[in-house]
Amino acid sequence: MRALIVDDSRFTRRVVRGLLEQAGFECKEANDAAAGLALLLGEPDFDVALIDWNMPGMNGLDMVKNIRAQNFDDVKVMMVTSQCDSNAIVQALEAGADEYLMKPFDAESLREKLALLGLNAA
């Protein structure tokens, strides 16, 4: 399975990548939404995109809307963010996110969210 990690924090990208690789995912990283969309357009066979909300330029919510507007319906989208109020969760889901993972999180929380998306890795 393939995962796209989009976060402006290099540290967060490394942590998420490590957890996903342990679970058997092949990962690509982008440090902003524009770069993430470019990867998605260039390599459209991702199973899941894990997207931070707060990034410079285009934010994660707008990236999710863009992904759905371009009909990447097979890509599961998980918002991974510290935005934890219920209004933010509703906004993300209405924009087209399939799941929502709040920072900070641990490996078990990530595995549980992936399982909810039907992505049971190694």
Tell which residue, 80, 72, 76, 69, has the closest CA to residue 105: 80
Q: Considering just the CA atoms, what is the radius of gyration of the chain in Å?
A: 13
Which residues of the chain register pLDDT less than 70?
121-122
pLDDT at 82: 86
pLDDT digits (tens, 9 = 90+) for 25-37: 999 999 999 999 9
What is the token pair recorded at 5? 């990690």
pLDDT of 84 reads 76
Residues 54, 58: Cα–Cα separation, whole Å: 9
Looking at residue 121, what is its pLDDT?
62
Domains within the chain, CATH numbers bracketed: 2-116 (3.40.50.2300)
* pLDDT computed for residue 122 by the predictor: 55
The pTM assigned to this predicted structure is: 0.94
